[in-house]
Structure 1
Amino acid sequence: MSKSKRRPYRWPRPLKGDRPGIWYGCDYNPDQWPEEVWDEDVRLMGQAGVNVVTLGVFSWSAIEPREGEYDFGWLDRIIDKLGRAGIGVDLASASASPPMWLTQAHPEVLWKDERGDVVWPGARQHWRPTSPVFRRYALDLCRALAGHYKDNPYIVAWHAGNEYGCHNRFDYSDDAMRSFQQWCRKKYGTIEAVNSAWGTSFWSQRLNDFSQIIPPRYIGRGNFQNPGRLLDFKRFSSDALKAFYQAERDVLSEITPDIPVTTNFMVSAGGSNLDYDDWGESVDFVSNDHYFEPGRRHLDELAFSSSLVDGISRRRPWWLMEHSTSAVNWRPVNFRKEPGQLVRDALAHLALGADAICYFQWRQSQAGAEKFHSAMVPHAGQDTQIFRDVCELGADLKGLSSQGLAGTTLARSQVAIVFDYESQWATEPTATPTCRLSHADEAMPWFQAFLDRGITPDLVPVRSDWDSYPLVVLPSVYLLDEKDSRRLRDYVKGGGHLIVTYATGISDRNDRVWLGGYPGSIRDVVGIGVEEFSPMAEGDGTLDHLDLDNGALAHDWADVITSLDEGTEVLVSYKAQPWTGMDGSPAVTVHGLGGGRAAYVGCRLGRDGIGLTLPTILEGLGVEGLGAGGRNTAGAAEGDGSVGTAGESGKPGDIMRVERVTDDGSRRFVFLFNRTHHAVGAQLEGDCLAASLARVEEGGRGIVEPNGVLVLRV
């Protein structure tokens, strides 16, 4: 289906009399508190350096307590208090959670699960995006809000909805069914085209009319959905929610054309509810909610996610709409942040392209489902380490704004890792060779392996300009159509260096397998042929791993490579027992095409195995000097001797180095993050602008403690 044209980029303007800078703030829910608390909140916000808040996300019942009866008085008063204190307002459309009076009068707006059970009020997002009744009420609310605040000088942006699809991603109601039928008609034109795309000759699923198309409702335990229909339903569900957002956006923009509109995405390493790259075309500026992953991947996953958001934003500054000061409330075990991580995490998002740093929420709730979710002002009040860290961060952001960081962009890496939401959907557990893997599962280890080498890659969507990078990685990009396959072929022929992994190019965009051996659409590019797959798992005598002759270990998945094109070189082979049928078989290869070369990694190696094998792959590709200089350097072995050279540990990846630059390259801001749990030294160049759990010693040497960060201007 054709994609809409990208909207012009528009960033929220500062309040009158203020200079552009980094936005710093939070979700603020004053309707949860008596008004005598409000003045104290505004005072503390000033102390913390807050200059923007998001208002009204879940306030529909307070704004419209009864149908058609609006109460803007309380909202007027708090907006005026905030604005007079120099705090801008990102005003929500308040449609995220419909009030009880609406769902009581119109239960037909409630979404249904795959069994047809109604999802009743009691939480949030209990509405179906295809309901014409709900759309009418929500757009009436948008008109009322926009009409009332169209001339308010303190509104800097509109926040439409909230985390669309977080809970109502899939709706199986009759409204959804009719909309799905219309979506298929628009995409395919004829029912025969649907039959061809979905392969309905299998299991006698042939359709005679669009009215026979139904959502993938419950079909019994242990059965399998038609994968083509399931993939299209995921696409439709993303588009249905996007259409609802666009309707809200258009109402707000019609009445207040000078106020930009956004909505908060949920981009993370595994966050693929919606096609966020597609959605990125429909917002005036990209916003994201990100919550840390506890444990060893904390910083790495944050960097992965933020880099992907920057790619979705096409390298324009973006807004971190929500993250947490410490623990969340929705995991089985809600770990607190370690000392230093509040500041470090915020500066990591900033380093990777965000020009706004906001939290959920300002004051920790006393009641309700999120009362144990951390906030800028915790239950214990302002005399706490959390609030002191919040104030420290505010001062850092103000200082970085004064140095001109806002408006700079993330420097391009030499390495691009391609991410594709539709390939993630297609590889989610279903009738596939193994349910243990997905596209995102392979992308993250490659990202970490490059970090370990001292290189910070760019995560780039498949629709972006990935073919302008010197080195491109396709990690299990399962779906490749003819256009993308041709683009890859042209990239390598034109001199590009490509790394392709197993489970790439298996099917076209309809999830119809390319015939002739895997990877069917790009066999000539990688120069190998795969006859079948060899999934692995621990069991009663089953194959659980394969050793490689370079000392790496393959697990979960291995390709049975049975043919090599002329000129294809085997870099690494399997070293296995004869009974496996894999001993001596190719595991990693490289193939020349035109002016470039393509490496193929036919098994899952994991972060450590990739790290062990990567030098051999880069040598086989003819890639030299990768990581030397520029923003990719963080290691003594490959550093340029200036910014970010590792010290005490001597490991290139101990420090993650990220750089933001001005358009003309006249100013560079370098961020150095410690990825370890021990102190790391770095020989610095330039002026230190900010330091958290870090210090600069005589001779320009920096010491970065665990969870620490240094910010330099070069």
Structure 2
Amino acid sequence: MNERKQFQWPQPLEGNRPRIWYGGDYNPDQWPEEVWDEDIELMHRAGVNFVSVGIFSWAKLEPEEGVYDFDWLDRVIDKLGKAGIAVDLASGTASPPMWLTQKHPEVLWEDERGDTCWPGARQHWRATSPVFLDYALKLCRAMAEHYQDNPYVVAWHVGNEYGCHNRFDYSDDAMRAFQKWCEARYGTIEAVNDAWGTAFWAQRMNDFSEIIPPRFIGDGNFMNPGKLLDWKRFSSDALLEFYRAERDALLEITPGKPQTTNFMVSASGTGIDYDKWGYDVDFVSNDHYFTPGEAHLDELAYSASLCDGIARKNPWALMEHSTSAVNWRPINHRCEPGELVRDSLAHLAMGADAICYFQWRQSKAGAEKWHSSMVPHAGPDSQVFRDVCELGAELDRLSDEGLPGTRLAKSSVAVVFDYESQWATEHTATPSQQVRHWTEPLDWFRALADQGLTADVVPVRGGWDQYEAAVLPSLYLLSEETSRRVREYVERGGKLFVTYYTGLADERDHIWLGGYPGSIRDVVGVRVEEFAPLGTDHPGTMASLKLSNGVEAYDFADVIGDVAESARVLATFQADPWTGFDGAPAITVNTYGDGKAAYVGARLGREGLSASLPQLLDEMGIAAGGPGSGKVLRVERVDETGGRRFVFLFNRTHETVEVDVEGEPLVASLARVDESGTAEISPNGVLVLKR
């Protein structure tokens, strides 16, 4: 792991004070030049002060090999800058032009069957191609040399959503890079054999040249799990190496200009190890698109909190989200009234100091023409644009009140997330294909919010062991180092929640023997002998299990064979005697050192966890919110030196909720403040207060 880069935030244009950055992707090359002046007038009306330009413009920036055309971009940047709008300038390398791929088809990535991904969309390049890297770096250097002294360019936007479409490449370039990656990681081929367990199915290798990507092995067959886990690590690292090369080419010429690249952090967005990538950016940026339906706000807050964890509580940028519908789902649901403003303020509450959209003006042609934008097809005389203007005014006021530079206040509870545990649970030969790591952290975040506790979502590499309480939710992989941290955390008084599917294997996906969770059995005070997956795939199988506390388990349950004398059983399973589950332990709390460790031995879902948490929190000595507090998501941003505190209150329900006014109201979107010191927040509403 490289040393983490020092945090560096884009600075305002000369003569301006720091503000919350507000804007979005701007694609002027999609429009005739006469539209540009109208765009800038509308940006002024909306309060836009920051736009990303040139992300998919390689074919216009370099129309022929070695022939660069910056004139159009110069004119756009000059218009923007003179209007007080700062530019986040893209490297332009996200998708190569047709002349490049026609001349060098060897840069195109290949799937697991060897089929080529041909041009026609985007990201049709392979990260391990030395030919493509050479062309990309030439463009990066040309961009940097041309714009190194431009006063309106405040940041570099390197690439775009790396791995969104080219996460895996199975070409010979990738094979050679994978071999080198394995040699660097393990040193000897025998160490690789040991890590991958190649004694099984006669897969032993004699030399690194025998390592191949996990190419197609036949329908219904099972890939070596250790190899597949390392392949996912390698694929994330290969893209990271490509990004680093682009970044370094830009910074060699423009060393003082901060750079970033847009991550895709969401509850289910687990393809890239974004926490590892967070070490290599000057500031973290994220693209997030809402989940339609009842989980909308909670999933957004969870993802934004994870982004804050990746940023280590430094300010981060929301580089993309949508004003309403996207274009890439089977059904593209619109935002409900109030959600455009509410969603942006939720990201802001969770630590973002930049609120940006894809995109400024809705396209009239191309694959994203049905993706909503700040200026929709209907034009500025539309509710979307009126909401965009309302949000701009509110961000402006929050900037005046001193919000920029404050940080998300630390919660008392950390919910731990691990990209590699998710990758390991994706294998096709596991106890249950219904269980993945990523769902459990989200369920815990939501269940804790039901109790009035807004948790921090913290990557496994982060400082989760510095919290009063921490949750290890289906953290399938526990390395020796993480196991040591767990043990020391609870010994010195930490309050730990551990669930089913945690600590089953080490970082090589080798099982911890002796019963689960193998490396921390003494900490949790239980020993799981085997699993009881639940489902209806065969007639007569158990679909669910009831617990003595009134909740129901589904998908997965542990067969707990032993409970330590230092542990107390809080809930048992209730089932027919012949199942062997009747009266068996389901939820326990163990005393270990100066701390406590609770164990939840089944998948309870958000509802079951929410119903179980009052007793669990009481047993662990953790204060929850008061009655009705779960109806409101309460988030604070704090100034650690000046004492300013900003309280954000979001309605989590579809009913109007009443709250106490804890300070000076700054923003009341779908909210009404009473003179009596209370306020009513309507569905999709938010109230922002300054203390």
- 1:268 corresponding residue in structure 2: 266
Secondary structure of 2:672's counterpart equals strand
Q: 1:115-154 maps to which residues of 2 (within 5 A)?
A: 115-154=113-152
**Residue 591 (str. 1) matches residue 583 (str. 2):** no
Of 600, 623, 635, 1:625 maps to: 623
Whole-Å separation in 2 of the counterparts to 1:673 and 1:489:
36
Of 664, 668, 671, 1:691 maps to: 668
Whole-Å separation in 2 of the counterparts to 1:680 and 1:56:
44
Which piece of structure 1 moves more, 573-582 or 35-44? 573-582
Q: 1:96-495 maps to which residues of 2 (within 5 A)?
A: 96-495=94-493
- 2:656 corresponding residue in structure 1: 679
Residue 685 of structure 1: how far off its partner (Å): 2.1
Residue 271 of structure 1: how far off its partner (Å): 0.5
Residue 615 of structure 1: how far off its partner (Å): 1.7
Is the 1:429–1:436 Cα contact (8 Å) retained in structure 2?
no
Secondary structure of 1:181's counterpart equals helix
Q: Deviations over 1:213-263 (max 9, x none)?
A: 011000000000000000000000000000000000001001001100100
Whole-Å separation in 1 of the counterparts to 2:406 and 2:618:
34
**Residue 706 (str. 1) matches residue 683 (str. 2):** yes
Whole-Å separation in 1 of the counterparts to 2:206 and 2:584:
47
Moved over 3 A (4+): none
Q: Deviations over 1:593-615 (max 9, x none)?
A: 11001011000001111011112
Residue 566 of structure 1: how far off its partner (Å): 2.2
Residue 201 of structure 1: how far off its partner (Å): 0.2
Is the 1:416–1:458 Cα contact (8 Å) retained in structure 2?
yes
Secondary structure of 1:574's counterpart equals strand
Whole-Å separation in 1 of the counterparts to 2:476 and 2:184:
25
Whole-Å separation in 1 of the counterparts to 2:619 and 2:685:
36
- 1:35 corresponding residue in structure 2: 33
Amino acid aligned to 1:341: E
Whole-Å separation in 2 of the counterparts to 1:570 and 1:259:
57
Q: 1:573-612 maps to which residues of 2 (within 5 A)?
A: 573-612=572-611
**Residue 655 (str. 1) matches residue 632 (str. 2):** yes
Whole-Å separation in 1 of the counterparts to 2:588 and 2:667:
45
Secondary structure of 2:353's counterpart equals strand
Q: Deviations over 1:15-36 (max 9, x none)?
A: 0000011000010000000000
Secondary structure of 1:599's counterpart equals strand
Of 61, 70, 73, 1:72 maps to: 70
Distance change >3 Å, CA 665–CA 421, structure 1 → 2 = farther
Secondary structure of 1:418's counterpart equals strand
Secondary structure of 1:477's counterpart equals coil
Residue 620 of structure 1: how far off its partner (Å): 2.5
Residue 578 of structure 1: how far off its partner (Å): 1.2
Q: Deviations over 1:99-140 (max 9, x none)?
A: 000000000000000000000000000000000000000000
Whole-Å separation in 1 of the counterparts to 2:186 and 2:405:
42
Amino acid aligned to 1:652: S
Amino acid aligned to 1:103: T
Residue 273 of structure 1: how far off its partner (Å): 1.0
Q: Deviations over 1:152-194 (max 9, x none)?
A: 0000000000000000000000000000000000000000000
Residue 664 of structure 1: how far off its partner (Å): 2.4
Number of residue pairs matched by the alignment: 690
Residue 626 of structure 1: how far off its partner (Å): 3.6
Q: Deviations over 1:48-76 (max 9, x none)?
A: 00001000000000000000000000000
Residue 665 of structure 1: how far off its partner (Å): 5.8
The normalised TM-score by structure 1 is: 0.96
Is the 1:497–1:596 Cα contact (8 Å) retained in structure 2?
yes
Whole-Å separation in 2 of the counterparts to 1:580 and 1:54:
60
Amino acid aligned to 1:421: Y
Amino acid aligned to 1:306: A
Amino acid aligned to 1:576: A
Amino acid aligned to 2:551: A
Whole-Å separation in 1 of the counterparts to 2:647 and 2:563:
44
- 1:501 corresponding residue in structure 2: 499
Is the 2:452–2:624 Cα contact (8 Å) retained in structure 1?
no
Amino acid aligned to 2:524: V
Whole-Å separation in 2 of the counterparts to 1:166 and 1:610:
33
Is the 1:268–1:305 Cα contact (8 Å) retained in structure 2?
yes
Of 67, 72, 84, 1:86 maps to: 84
Whole-Å separation in 1 of the counterparts to 2:290 and 2:563:
43
Which piece of structure 1 moves more, 338-347 or 689-698? 689-698
Is the 1:327–1:336 Cα contact (8 Å) retained in structure 2?
yes
Whole-Å separation in 2 of the counterparts to 1:146 and 1:617:
56
Secondary structure of 2:279's counterpart equals coil
Amino acid aligned to 2:630: G
Whole-Å separation in 2 of the counterparts to 1:27 and 1:123:
18
**Residue 528 (str. 1) matches residue 505 (str. 2):** no
Whole-Å separation in 1 of the counterparts to 2:172 and 2:654:
54
Q: Deviations over 1:353-410 (max 9, x none)?
A: 0000000000000000000000000001000000000000000000000000000000
Residue 567 of structure 1: how far off its partner (Å): 1.5
Whole-Å separation in 1 of the counterparts to 2:224 and 2:205:
13
Amino acid aligned to 1:608: E
The normalised TM-score by structure 2 is: 0.99
Amino acid aligned to 2:203: Q
Secondary structure of 2:438's counterpart equals helix
Gaps of 5+ in 2: none
Whole-Å separation in 1 of the counterparts to 2:532 and 2:399:
53
Residue 429 of structure 1: how far off its partner (Å): 4.3
Whole-Å separation in 1 of the counterparts to 2:565 and 2:481:
25
Secondary structure of 1:280's counterpart equals helix
Whole-Å separation in 2 of the counterparts to 1:63 and 1:398:
34
Whole-Å separation in 2 of the counterparts to 1:217 and 1:252:
35
Is the 2:451–2:614 Cα contact (8 Å) retained in structure 1?
no
Distance change >3 Å, CA 338–CA 429, structure 1 → 2 = farther
Is the 1:571–1:620 Cα contact (8 Å) retained in structure 2?
no
**Residue 551 (str. 1) matches residue 550 (str. 2):** yes
Amino acid aligned to 1:606: G
Gaps of 5+ in 1: 628-634, 638-650
Is the 2:260–2:282 Cα contact (8 Å) retained in structure 1?
yes
Whole-Å separation in 1 of the counterparts to 2:41 and 2:629:
45
Identity across the alignment (%): 67
Q: Deviations over 1:664-713 (max 9, x none)?
A: 26110000100111111111121101111111012121110110001000
- 1:647 corresponding residue in structure 2: none
Is the 1:191–1:210 Cα contact (8 Å) retained in structure 2?
yes
- 2:613 corresponding residue in structure 1: 614
